[in-house]
């Protein structure tokens, strides 16, 4: 569905006018705070004639209470969970959360997947906004994060590009008192030191409250990977047997800066601005030995070097204006810019060490983006709030890629400029209502329109789509049926979608060095349509003590216009290379996915008196999926594991200021039939982490941790079944234990 620019402009102008009128409305009295206020009567006075004193005590809800009182399912993990194991990256924290898996090898981070689904199914937000292009959670130090919110069902306030769910990473917020925190860390992997230093300083100056978080780090990683590719005909005769032994080393140095400023005006309005700046450099070198007892080897040895320089800056702004009657107008805005320069050189030699070819790949990506939005909310009664708002976003990417073999371009458009633009416009309304003491409901509607356009010397791409998403969440509290009085049942019915990624739309080729069905070239498809999903969620939650919870949930998603890459043999892809195996995305039909999610988080004292100070955490998820147009077995959604589980324990010694703990993350092996001709397999993944924490004083502590203590090899593979031959590929990658020693001091 297309939307004319005149209609879009009129809508935006109308929204701006309304916002301007609301901002200039008469100032209102103080609105009710979101914290709980409990009046505590004083003890009886001997003299009844004296006036009684009432003490007002406000306490902020903890993460468990916020989860319980939210109508839409939302899990919140604060600093206690973020600091627990002394992780060096945010992705290592996420792997322990219920229903979350991480692609890639243990200890190496990777793509974040909720309910086993990645590749755009899981929405990643930074301060409630889409992060800038080039941003990776692997590059974000945990010290700069205030909390992580996991939202399992789509909500109108955020984009509904969340078929699996949303993970919102909230950066460090302002502090109530002036203090300085230092974190000095040294990690070691495979004999290489990875030092880092992080500092957070907070304070205030009159109506201005501020905090500054900055970190500098170095990370060295080594890889040792063995790949075997084998091709045989239908009679079982092997025609090709390739073995690649790759060794590489990468050194990453980076600086992250994230200040935050909060200003409170006399009338009660507030203005927040939080810049976020990341600068880092990756330097790599490696060597590959290719042996081929059967077949013709394209080379025998390869030496590679590469450098990637990246920076991006993003500014988040938020202005809140109070209006008569408890209403509130919130204006949010943001600007961002980034650049990535990559240079890679590979020299390939024959068995006599004679140079055969030199491959040079250079690319430059420049990204800029801006967003502007707002939300007007107004109480309609006790426990009843209506809100409406809008979001606009504009992003631009300029890309140039040069790929040479012995100085000759490897594809026709090598060196050309690719410019792409994405425009997004959204409007939403939501109604949250505590209907009674036992029932709460959330009704939401969101419309989103996305237009992507790209220009190059060879092709012009334009893709426009729009999605309308109705959303319904409900909570039924069961005080009369439960022992704690806080048990509840959740229900959600949502519409969500997954738009095509920019790289899947633009036909900019990515060429494989050894072109096979298991390592094909990749190109885009400008005619892709977004995937649409109808979702149903049910969950039961049982709360224990102050922060304990046990829950069991079910979910189902029905997806249409599923996107999947298809591998075909195409003639003369670039005009110079001849027939090549090419992977191209297509819309292939319908799919369904469903699952169960179990979680338990409690203290041993919740079940027995005089119990030791032990905290327990456990979760288990089982996923099913089916792609209609692909024959079984294993016709599952791409990269979705069948199961995942976590088990964790923390023990605080009473005789010493020492806490010991650890966790086990487990994902069994699985196979996915990605197309009618290709299947992908992933080996079992077991990651065992340990830590010890010694508190010298309330303001000084030392933490020793071991990440990926088992250091199991990572196994993966693929199989392509053609009409006359079958090709298999098996990969064995070594993993390593990461030891870390961190000193934390508060001043």
* Confidence at 248, pLDDT banded by 50, 70, 90: very high
Whether the Cβ atoms of residue 250 and residue 305 lie closer than 8 Å to each other: no
Lowest mean pLDDT among 33-47, 321-335, 454-468: 33-47
Give me the percent of the chain exceeding a pLDDT of 90.
57
Q: How far apart are CA 186 and CA 328, in angstroms?
A: 46
* The pLDDT value given to residue 481: 61
Q: How far apart are CA 77 and CA 547, in angstroms?
A: 12
Beta bridge partners of 364: 341, 400
* Confidence at 394, pLDDT banded by 50, 70, 90: very high
Please check the confidence at residue 597 and state whether its pLDDT lies above 60: yes
Is residue 45, in this structure, part of any structural domain at all?
no
Cα separations (Å) of 308 from 148, 404, 414, 420?
Answer: 29, 18, 19, 22
Collapse the DSSP code of 90 into the 3-class scheme (helix H, G, I; strand E, B; otherwise coil) and give the result.
helix
* The pLDDT value given to residue 529: 92
* The pLDDT value given to residue 178: 66
- The mean pLDDT of the chain is 86
Q: How far apart are CA 622 and CA 639, in angstroms?
A: 14
Beta bridge partners of 371: 334, 393
Please check the confidence at residue 513 and state whether its pLDDT lies above 80: no
* The pLDDT value given to residue 31: 36
Residue 199 burial (10 A CB sphere; 0-12, 13-18, 19+): middle
Is residue 528, in this structure, part of any structural domain at all?
yes
Q: How far apart are CA 263 and CA 131, in angstroms?
A: 24
Give the Cα-Cα-Cα angle 685, 690, 695 (nearest 5 degrees).
155
- Number of independent structural domains in the chain: 1
* Confidence at 141, pLDDT banded by 50, 70, 90: confident
Q: How does pLDDT run across 693-719, given as a tens digit for each residue? A: 999 998 999 999 999 999 999 999 999
Average pLDDT over residues 156-181: 85
Task: Pick the closest to residue 99 from 598, 539, 685, 542 (CA basis).
Answer: 598
Q: What is the pTM of this model?
A: 0.84
Is residue 48, in this structure, part of any structural domain at all?
no
Average pLDDT over residues 627-634: 91
Is residue 46, in this structure, part of any structural domain at all?
no
**Structure tokens, 60:** 């902020």
* The pLDDT value given to residue 12: 36
Please check the confidence at residue 73 and state whether its pLDDT lies above 80: yes
**Ordered DSSP codes for 431-497:** EEE--SSSEEEEEEEEEEEEEEEEE-SS-EEEEEEEEEEEEEEEEEE-TTTSSSS--EEEEEEEEEE
Residue 560 burial (10 A CB sphere; 0-12, 13-18, 19+): middle
Q: How many CB atoms lie within 10 A of CB 92?
A: 25
Average pLDDT over residues 186-193: 93
For 411, residues 6+ apart whose C-beta sits below 8 A from its C-beta are 403, 509, 511, 573, 574, 575, 576, 577
Whether the link from the prior residue into 633 is cis, omega within 30° of 0, is yes
* Confidence at 174, pLDDT banded by 50, 70, 90: low
Give me the percent of the chain exceeding a pLDDT of 70.
88
Please check the confidence at residue 127 and state whether its pLDDT lies above 70: yes
More confident call, 49 vs 236: 236
* The pLDDT value given to residue 418: 80
* The pLDDT value given to residue 429: 97
For 667, residues 6+ apart whose C-beta sits below 8 A from its C-beta are 101, 641, 643, 644, 645, 684, 685
Average pLDDT over residues 621-629: 95
* The pLDDT value given to residue 695: 93
What CATH code is carried by the domain that includes residue 137?
2.40.170.20
* The pLDDT value given to residue 399: 85
Q: How many CB atoms lie within 10 A of CB 80?
A: 13
More confident call, 135 vs 430: 430
Q: How does pLDDT run across 633-672, given as a tens digit for each residue? A: 999 998 899 999 999 999 999 899 999 999 999 999 999 9
Please check the confidence at residue 425 and state whether its pLDDT lies above 60: yes
Is residue 202, in this structure, part of any structural domain at all?
yes
**Ordered DSSP codes for 668-695:** --EEEE-SSSEEEEE--EEEEEEEEEEE
**Ordered DSSP codes for 621-656:** EEEEEEETTS-SSS-PSTT--SEEEEEEEEEE-SSS
Q: How does pLDDT run across 6-38, given as a tens digit for each residue? A: 433 444 334 333 433 433 343 333 333 333 344
Lowest mean pLDDT among 335-339, 360-364, 399-403: 399-403
Q: How far apart are CA 156 and CA 160, in angstroms?
A: 7
* The pLDDT value given to residue 480: 67
Average pLDDT over residues 575-596: 86
Q: How many CB atoms lie within 10 A of CB 274?
A: 22
Cα separations (Å) of 510 from 69, 119, 504, 704?
Answer: 48, 18, 11, 42
DSSP 8-state class, residue 165: E
Average pLDDT over residues 356-366: 93
- Which residue range is the domain that position 306 belongs to? 5-40+53-746
* Confidence at 568, pLDDT banded by 50, 70, 90: confident
**Structure tokens, 373:** 């939005």
Is residue 18, in this structure, part of any structural domain at all?
yes
Cα separations (Å) of 131 from 48, 106, 135, 532?
Answer: 61, 25, 6, 23
Average pLDDT over residues 100-128: 86
Collapse the DSSP code of 501 into the 3-class scheme (helix H, G, I; strand E, B; otherwise coil) and give the result.
coil
Collapse the DSSP code of 573 into the 3-class scheme (helix H, G, I; strand E, B; otherwise coil) and give the result.
coil
Please check the confidence at residue 496 and state whether its pLDDT lies above 90: yes
Cα separations (Å) of 427 from 267, 373, 387, 469, 563?
Answer: 29, 9, 11, 11, 26
Is residue 282, in this structure, part of any structural domain at all?
yes
* The pLDDT value given to residue 78: 87
**Structure tokens, 540:** 């039961």
* The pLDDT value given to residue 484: 59
Is residue 292, in this structure, part of any structural domain at all?
yes
């Amino acid at each position: 569905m297309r939307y004319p620019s005149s209609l879009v402009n009129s809508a935006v102008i109308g929204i701006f006018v309304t916002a301007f009128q609301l901002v200039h409305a008469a100032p209102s009295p103080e609105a009710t705070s979101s914290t709980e206020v409990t009046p505590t009567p004083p003890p009886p006075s001997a003299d009844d004639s004296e006036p009684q004193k009432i003490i007002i005590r406000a306490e902020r809800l903890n993460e468990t209470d916020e989860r319980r009182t939210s109508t839409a399912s939302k899990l919140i993990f604060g600093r206690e969970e973020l600091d627990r194991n002394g992780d060096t990256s945010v992705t290592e924290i996420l792997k322990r959360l219920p229903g979350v898996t991480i692609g890639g090898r243990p200890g190496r981070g990777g793509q974040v997947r909720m309910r086993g689904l990645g590749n755009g199914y899981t929405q990643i937000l930074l301060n409630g906004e889409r992060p800038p292009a080039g941003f990776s959670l692997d590059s974000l130090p945990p010290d700069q994060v205030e909390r992580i919110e996991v939202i399992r069902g789509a909500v109108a306030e955020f984009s509904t590009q969340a078929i699996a769910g949303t993970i919102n990473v909230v950066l460090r917020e302002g502090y109530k008192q002036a203090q300085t925190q230092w974190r000095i860390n040294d990690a070691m992997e495979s004999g290489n030191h990875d030092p880092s230093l992080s500092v957070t300083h907070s304070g205030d100056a009159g109506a201005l409250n501020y905090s500054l978080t900055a970190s500098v780090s170095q990370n060295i990683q080594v890889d040792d990977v063995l790949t075997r590719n084998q091709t045989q005909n239908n009679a079982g005769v092997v025609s090709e047997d390739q073995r690649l032994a790759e060794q590489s080393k990468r050194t990453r140095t980076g600086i992250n800066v994230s200040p935050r400023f909060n200003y409170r005006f006399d009338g009660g309005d507030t203005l927040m601005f939080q810049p976020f700046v990341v600068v880092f450099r990756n330097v790599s070198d490696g060597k590959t030995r290719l042996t081929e007892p059967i077949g013709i080897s394209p080379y025998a040895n390869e030496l590679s070097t590469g450098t990637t320089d990246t920076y991006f800056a993003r500014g988040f702004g938020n202005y809140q204006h109070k209006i008569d009657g408890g209403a509130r107008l919130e204006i949010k805005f943001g600007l961002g810019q980034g650049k990535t320069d990559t240079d890679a050189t590979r020299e390939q030699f024959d068995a006599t060490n004679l140079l055969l070819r030199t491959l040079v790949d250079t690319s430059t990506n420049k990204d800029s983006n801006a967003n502007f939005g707002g939300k007007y909310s107004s109480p309609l009664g006790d426990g009843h709030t209506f809100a409406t708002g809008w979001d606009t976003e504009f992003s631009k990417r300029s890309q140039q890629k040069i790929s040479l073999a012995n100085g000759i371009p490897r594809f026709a458009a090598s060196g050309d400029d690719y410019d792409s633009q994405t425009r997004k416009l959204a409007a939403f309304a939501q109604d949250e209502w505590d209907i009674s003491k036992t029932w709460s409901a959330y009704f939401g509607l969101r419309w989103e329109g996305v237009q992507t356009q790209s220009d190059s010397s060879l092709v012009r791409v334009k893709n426009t789509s729009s999605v309308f998403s109705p959303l319904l969440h409900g909570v039924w509290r069961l005080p009369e049926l439960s022992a704690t009085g806080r048990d509840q049942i959740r229900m959600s019915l949502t519409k969500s979608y997954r738009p095509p990624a920019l790289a899947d739309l633009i036909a900019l080729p990515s060429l494989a060095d050894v072109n096979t069905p298991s390592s094909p070239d990749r190109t885009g498809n400008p005619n892709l349509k977004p995937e649409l999903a109808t979702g149903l969620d049910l969950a039961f939650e049982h709360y224990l003590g102050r922060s304990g919870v046990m829950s069991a949930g079910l979910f189902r998603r029905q997806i249409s216009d599923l996107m999947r890459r298809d591998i075909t043999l195409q003639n003369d892809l670039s005009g110079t290379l001849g027939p090549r195996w090419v992977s191209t995305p297509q819309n292939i039909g319908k799919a369904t996915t469903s699952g169960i999610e179990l979680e338990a988080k409690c203290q041993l004292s919740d079940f027995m008196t005089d119990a030791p100070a032990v905290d327990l955490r456990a979760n288990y998820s089982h996923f099913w999926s089916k792609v209609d147009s692909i024959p079984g077995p294993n016709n599952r959604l791409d990269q979705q594991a069948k199961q995942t589980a976590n088990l964790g324990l923390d023990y605080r010694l009473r005789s010493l200021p020492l806490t010991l703990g650890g966790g086990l993350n487990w994902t069994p092996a699985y196979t996915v039939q990605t197309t009618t001709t290709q299947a992908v397999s992933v080996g079992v993944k077991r990651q065992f982490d340990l830590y010890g924490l010694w508190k010298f004083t309330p303001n000084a502590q030392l933490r020793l941790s071991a990440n990926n203590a088992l250091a199991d090899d990572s196994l993966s593979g693929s199989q392509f079944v053609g009409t006359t031959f079958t090709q298999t590929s098996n990969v064995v990658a070594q993993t390593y234990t990461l030891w870390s020693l961190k000193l934390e001091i508060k001043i």
